[in-house]
Structure 1
Amino acid sequence: MSTTPTPSRAERLGALPYTRRHTRLLVGSGTGWALDAMDVGLISFVIVVLADQWDLTTGERSWIVTVGFIGMAIGATVGGWLADRFGRRAVFATTLLVYGLATGASALVGGLAAFLVLRLVVGLGLGAELPVASTLVSELSPTRIRGRLVVALESFWALGWILAAVIGFYVVPRGDDGWRWGLALGLVPAVYALVVRFGLPESAAWLERRGRHEEAERVVRGFEESAGVDPPPTSTKGVPAAVAEPVPQAAPGLWSRGLRRRTLGIWLVWFGVNFSYYGAFLWIPSLLVARGHDVTTSFGYTLVITLAQLPGYALAAVLVEAWGRRSTLALFLLGSAVAAWFFGQSDSAASIIVAGSALSFCNLGAWGALYAITPEIYPTAVRGSGAGAAAGFGRLASIAAPLVVPVLLERGGGDVLVFTIFTAAFVVAAAAAFLLPETRGRALDT
């Protein structure tokens, strides 16, 4: 007599409908994500003011950005490894605390050296947070809308960047200490770390991997109760009676035979997207000032361009489930390439806003699809490490881009050459996307 096997916890989570508990997970994680974006975006406005107050050279301004990305490269790689070892939620909360305190402290400094040290610490926290948060949401989402939820998580980046643009427009230019008040708002993540630590669930897949089966069962049952779904019958230990607990297997290497193709592909995509995104968007306010626009006008243009990120995320959230992660990622990367080329040719206010908005729309749609697919291509044992390593490698490009841009500008390359290089980087990233497996509708590999 055959019996229907009891589904695994991953299958039970994957089969659930969307519930208010998923909303709490998404908003709770997304708020941390938005605060991350606020910090990254705000520094581009602060640099413009500090360049005047501290009489900074172009190279010194570049290092303010670059040292933060050095921290982010280290933080992403180490943070992913720590998340596989100590849990997604604990590392997520710790990263918020680290960069929140460091950002708040940077509002008090009086010179470049101390500012650079604190930006390095900020980068460590920022870099570690993003791959960890996306992994947590991915592992707790229903299979049929998992990509959509991760793109929705990524869309909080646009909210944070818009908030940074608002602060940059209304607070940073107002008086000699405006930039200090702007950075002081960066203390908010340190407080929000408590919400993450005590308000969000841990990944059931990670708990199961660590042998903490009863805790994993409680997490799954919490989502089932929210959906009004009855859990399987339990044994005396409070876990499903008819399913054997999985035995943890040895963690595969990211460059092992089964993973090397996808690791190469995801690293190339992360590198190209980081190089073009941070090279362009961190320098847009300064480039506009260099074209003859005053600071207030330049900040206003940047705010309008930033608003285009939201519809980009919205379309990506639809396409990742309708077309698939890989095709959506490649489409938005090619759109970014076209928009970057046109932005380099723009000279009028209208063309700057149109091309910049198109770049913002396509680039952030690509980011959404990238964050959706990255944790899905790795098994649970190395999901945090794989996502973190890809993000860390990509941050090397974000280190290089702010240094390359001023060199090209000073040697007469101009905006046209700079944005042509960004166009090429987007094209290479789009090609690399086809090295990745399509993960739409597939259960996560545990």
Structure 2
Amino acid sequence: MSDDLATRTPARPTRTERLDELPFTSKHRRLLVGSGIGWALDALDVGLLSFVIAQLAVVWSDQAGQLAWVASAGFAGMAIGAAVGGSLADRLGRKTVFALTLLLYGLATGLSALSWSVAVLLVLRFVVGLGLGSELPVASTLVSEFSPRRIRGRIVVLLEAFWAVGSIAAAVIGYLVIPTSDDGWRWALLIGAAPALYAVFVRLRMPESVRFLESRGRHDEAERTVRGFEEAAGVAAPTRPAEEARVAEKPTRASVSQLFGPGMARRTGAIWVVWFMTNFSYYGAFVWLPTLLVAAGFPLVRSFEYVLIITLAQLPGYAASAWLIERWGRRGTLASFLLGSAVAAAFFGFGAVSGSVAQILIAGMFLSFFNLGAWGALYAVTPELYPTPLRGTGAGWAAGVGRIASIVAPLSVPPLLALGGPPTLFVVFGAVFVVGAVAASMLPELRGTRLAE
């Protein structure tokens, strides 16, 4: 009789299952926008750097040969920050690390405006990179863990779409502010210090991950957070939460070796390759884009105008990726957008030689469309690959490995240009995108699945 009763009594849902089945609510929207504004400010900082380098190549012409190291120093900081920040997020919490990293890189960006030499700017950009690299994988992990299961990929792509907002803002500032004087780059960097103020808002208003709270035995806090989301959705909370969620377990300490444990090695290897290849081509192309256009004979202001137009194509790229990722799936969307990026890169390289403004703009816009759409899919799939105790570490190390490519890429541009000009440079970028697409096809398809606990 008791067996029959157990068969007929439905199991009570866990807190994470309750979150997974909720509709998209105003609290989800506030979390998305709150994280997204931080994301946009990150993009503003990275985007401004390309315009700053283009002006400094003129203003500090005697140190122009060292400017490639400024970009690479920032990316070196991002590589370390991503790995360390992801691990800290699994130990201290997603929200805490998110706020601290925003504060770190915002203050360092403001100080960068006071630089008097390439050496000083290089050191400060390294510190900026530490904060910036830590923040991005942590924010995507936090949003992924709160998103409803059936639209989780789309929500994370929309989060990544805030990168386009920041990139466009950077292009506008680069176009309107930097050319106004020889100190225009300083004013631009001061504007980039805004995240330091925003960090306070983030820390006070955003919720901590329910999955993280449960992994640390903070069940009452986790229950309050879930009930808050249920109230926003107009869903009644169960009178008795699942018993398994009331048991405090000893927290599991994540380690990098676990990323290559049973069932993890193949996906970790594949996602690291995708991150490396996507970073190499994106940062190799877009950090140098204004400088490449100036070198092709376009005036500084006109080059900045073209970059602004090309950047606008990021928005429809993100929109298409967000729509397709729940239809084609993560793997198909990511691989397809990387292949599109490869074709666009090749056309852009030959357009830069011909001097055809139409070809430069059209190919550049397609490169922006496909490349940033791929970024959205990449950030969506990465946190899904790992269980909760390992999620921040997995996402952080994948981003950190990718940042190694972003260090190498800006330094590789001058020798590749010397070897064969823009066609050789962008054919190389296209080939790198193809390798990334092949690696993406080796990832598991996790559309519609629950995040592993």
Alignment TM-score > 0.5, same fold: yes
CA displacement 1:224-280 (0-9 Å, x = unmatched): 01001111114xxxx556865474575570011210000000000000000000000
Paired residue type of 2:360: I
**In the alignment, does 2:441 pair up with 1:434?**
yes
**In the alignment, does 2:326 pair up with 1:321?**
yes
Once residues 249 and 207 of structure 1 are traced to their aligned partners in structure 2, the CA distance between those partners, rounded to angstroms, is 10
Uncovered stretches (5+) of structure 2, i.e. residues with no partner: none
For residue 413 of structure 1, give the secondary structure of its aligned residue in structure 2: helix
Partner of 1:369: 377
Paired residue type of 1:119: R
| RMSD value, Cα | 1.3
Q: CA deviation at 1:439?
A: 0.9
- Of the three residues 67, 70, 89, the one matched with 2:73 is 67
- Of the three residues 389, 396, 401, the one matched with 2:409 is 401
**In the alignment, does 2:339 pair up with 1:334?**
yes
For residue 310 of structure 1, give the secondary structure of its aligned residue in structure 2: helix
CA displacement 1:150-203 (0-9 Å, x = unmatched): 000000000000000000000011012211111101221000001110111000
Q: 1:358 to 1:246 in 2, by over 3 A?
A: farther
Partner of 1:152: 158
Once residues 335 and 61 of structure 1 are traced to their aligned partners in structure 2, the CA distance between those partners, rounded to angstroms, is 30
**In the alignment, does 2:201 pair up with 1:195?**
yes
Once residues 377 and 275 of structure 1 are traced to their aligned partners in structure 2, the CA distance between those partners, rounded to angstroms, is 22
Paired residue type of 1:282: V
CA displacement 1:309-358 (0-9 Å, x = unmatched): 00000000011111100100000000000000111111300000000000
Paired residue type of 1:341: A
**In the alignment, does 2:425 pair up with 1:418?**
yes
Once residues 316 and 49 of structure 1 are traced to their aligned partners in structure 2, the CA distance between those partners, rounded to angstroms, is 34
- Of the three residues 443, 447, 450, the one matched with 1:443 is 450
- Of the three residues 350, 355, 361, the one matched with 1:353 is 361
Partner of 2:304: 299
Q: 1:98 to 1:7 in 2, by over 3 A?
A: same
Partner of 1:381: 389
**In the alignment, does 2:307 pair up with 1:263?**
no
Partner of 2:136: 130
Once residues 62 and 41 of structure 2 are traced to their aligned partners in structure 1, the CA distance between those partners, rounded to angstroms, is 27
Once residues 260 and 19 of structure 1 are traced to their aligned partners in structure 2, the CA distance between those partners, rounded to angstroms, is 36
Partner of 2:280: 275
**In the alignment, does 2:103 pair up with 1:97?**
yes
Once residues 246 and 183 of structure 1 are traced to their aligned partners in structure 2, the CA distance between those partners, rounded to angstroms, is 46
User: Would the aligned equivalents of 2:216 and 2:249 in 1 still touch at CA under 8 Å?
Assistant: no
Q: CA deviation at 1:48?
A: 1.2
- Of the three residues 177, 182, 185, the one matched with 2:183 is 177
User: Would the aligned equivalents of 1:101 and 1:186 in 2 still touch at CA under 8 Å?
Assistant: no
**In the alignment, does 2:123 pair up with 1:120?**
no
User: Would the aligned equivalents of 1:96 and 1:189 in 2 still touch at CA under 8 Å?
Assistant: yes
Once residues 103 and 231 of structure 2 are traced to their aligned partners in structure 1, the CA distance between those partners, rounded to angstroms, is 31
- Of the three residues 145, 153, 177, the one matched with 1:139 is 145
Once residues 279 and 71 of structure 2 are traced to their aligned partners in structure 1, the CA distance between those partners, rounded to angstroms, is 13
Q: 1:33 to 1:280 in 2, by over 3 A?
A: same
For residue 326 of structure 2, give the secondary structure of its aligned residue in structure 1: helix
Once residues 39 and 141 of structure 2 are traced to their aligned partners in structure 1, the CA distance between those partners, rounded to angstroms, is 13
Once residues 241 and 381 of structure 1 are traced to their aligned partners in structure 2, the CA distance between those partners, rounded to angstroms, is 20
Number of equivalent positions: 441
Partner of 2:88: 82
Partner of 2:217: 211
Once residues 57 and 38 of structure 2 are traced to their aligned partners in structure 1, the CA distance between those partners, rounded to angstroms, is 29
Q: Percent identity?
A: 62
Paired residue type of 2:431: A
Once residues 305 and 420 of structure 2 are traced to their aligned partners in structure 1, the CA distance between those partners, rounded to angstroms, is 26
Q: CA deviation at 1:15?
A: 0.1
User: Would the aligned equivalents of 1:59 and 1:406 in 2 still touch at CA under 8 Å?
Assistant: no
Uncovered stretches (5+) of structure 1, i.e. residues with no partner: none
User: Would the aligned equivalents of 2:317 and 2:373 in 1 still touch at CA under 8 Å?
Assistant: yes
For residue 254 of structure 1, give the secondary structure of its aligned residue in structure 2: helix
**In the alignment, does 2:27 pair up with 1:31?**
no
User: Would the aligned equivalents of 1:6 and 1:242 in 2 still touch at CA under 8 Å?
Assistant: no
Deviates most, 29-38 or 52-61? 52-61
Once residues 341 and 240 of structure 1 are traced to their aligned partners in structure 2, the CA distance between those partners, rounded to angstroms, is 55
